[in-house]
Amino acid sequence: MPTFDHRVANFCAGPASMPNAVIERAQAELSNWHGSGMSVMEMSHRSGAFIEIARHAEASLRQLMGIPENYRVLFLQGGGSMQFSAVPLNLLHGQADYLDTGIWSAKALKEAQRYAAAGLGNINIVASGKANGYTRVPDRTEWQLSDNASYFHYCPNETINGVALYGVPDVPSDVPLVADMSSCILSEPIEVSRFGVIYAGAQKNIGPSGLTLVIVREDLLGRAHAVCPSVVNYEQQAANNSMLNTPPTFAWYLAGLVFDWLLEQGGVEVIYQQNLQKARTLYDFIDSSDFYHNGVDKDNRSIMNIPFTLADSELDKAFLQAADAAGFLNLKGHRTVGGMRASIYNAIDLPTVQRLVEFMARFAQQHSK
């Protein structure tokens, strides 16, 4: 068996680092899954073996998140971005409310507006953080909710801006909450029963790209517009156990391995405590330094994606080069916001964050005037 000493600390926002134990297990099972004589990659999605893999992954996810019986879990393709269209196509009737807290919620909004323009309904922007440079979630007192919204869409963790909305948004209880949890699913315990739809691309905090999870409350099935493509129609996918067409089988299997790994770690509450400690370690260091800066409101700081800038941006290039050389990869911030960003999803452990902080301290010392 190979060892994994050669693996770098990968702070990429997505596709992101996966647990070593999962990579090793996938490798061990790669050519002959459980004596089947074939790789999961080669299996029919209709075979007994794959159906077992698929069911097991769903059962593990249900256990991890405490998903109630009246919710369906869909394993789809198309990424988080496909859900920007799927949500209005399945649910937009009359008004829908959108909260704009960053680049991803703005993208979701833009797609929804396309369907509004085509006559499917109206989109109301509840509030936007754009004017403040997406450094905080607009205060609840600033929100302009519509009457009888068919749903309220928001993004609890803005991956690019590092802005998070904690707790469940305060909207009327009969308005289904639709949450893009692409970069925060499984990072902290949530009460699924408070949501109508939760969706997440897998490549941030779950597994490889190509898989998108949708957790949808059963009473929201069957509301799709006639023009909604079958593959993104929640009711049809639910009726076909996410196998209306060929699902992303290998990514589904790998997600199942990650779910099992999370259960072995003690579940979401245990990983959440580690995530808090990791985030605190990095933010405390950044806040204590004149060399590094994070401009997000303290109440809205993401525990998964931590953007930061150097006081002297002339040093950005040198910082990234030194980080690469030290085995800390993908710290460059998103092209739209610049600076740096450390994505510290579940697979990044506390010692790795501590080593990053030591590196950052060393770099600051060497480059302070």
Q: Name the site residues for ligand PLP (rule: CB under 6 A).
A: 14, 79-81, 104, 155, 159, 180, 182-183, 201, 204
| 298 carries an active-site annotation | no
Residue whose CB is less far from ligand PLP, 104 or 250: 104
- Residue 80 in marked binding region: yes
Q: Which is nearer to ligand PLP, 78 or 359 (CB)?
A: 78
Could you tell me if 192 and 326 are in contact, meaning their C-beta atoms sit under 8 angstroms apart? Answer: no
The one catalytic residue in 33, 180, 261, 278 is 180
Q: Whose CB is nearest to ligand PLP?
A: 79
In the complex, least distance from residue 44 CB atom to ligand PLP, rounded to whole angstroms: 26
Kindly state the helix (H) or strand (E) to which residue 81 belongs, with its residue range: helix 79-91
Closer residue to ligand PLP (CB): 153 or 204: 204
Query: Any known ligand binding at 81?
Result: yes
Tell me the β-bridge partners of 307: 341
Asked whether residue 236 is marked as a ligand-binding residue, the answer is: no
Note whether 89 and 227 are within 8 A (CB): yes
Q: Is 63 annotated as a binding residue?
A: no
CA distance 274 to 303: 10
Our CB check for ligand PLP shows the closer of 204 and 341 to be 204
Is 246 annotated as belonging to a binding site? yes
Please choose, from the candidates 155, 125, 156, the residue with its C-alpha nearest in 3D space to the C-alpha of residue 143.
Answer: 125
* Smallest separation (angstroms) from ligand PLP to the CB of 192: 18
Q: Assess whether 332 carries a catalytic annotation.
A: no
Instruction: Spot the catalytic one: 97, 100, 204, 332.
Output: 204
Q: Which long-range contacts (CB under 8 A, 24 or more apart) does 246-250 make?
A: 246/45, 247/45, 247/54, 247/75, 247/76, 247/77, 248/75, 248/77, 248/210, 248/211, 249/40, 249/41, 249/43, 249/45, 249/50, 250/40, 250/41, 250/208, 250/210
**Bridge partners for 128 per DSSP:** 100
Q: What is the CA radius of gyration of the chain?
A: 21
Residue 203 annotated as binding site? yes
Dist. CA 364–CA 359, nearest whole Å: 9
317 is catalytic: no
Smallest gap, in angstroms, from Cβ of residue 91 to ligand PLP?
A: 17
Residue with the two structure tokens 């703005």 = 106
CB of 99 to ligand PLP, least distance (A): 13
| Closer residue to ligand PLP, CB minimum distance, 34 or 114 | 114
Q: Which of 97, 100, 104, 278 is catalytic?
A: 104
Q: Give the active site residues.
A: 104, 180, 204
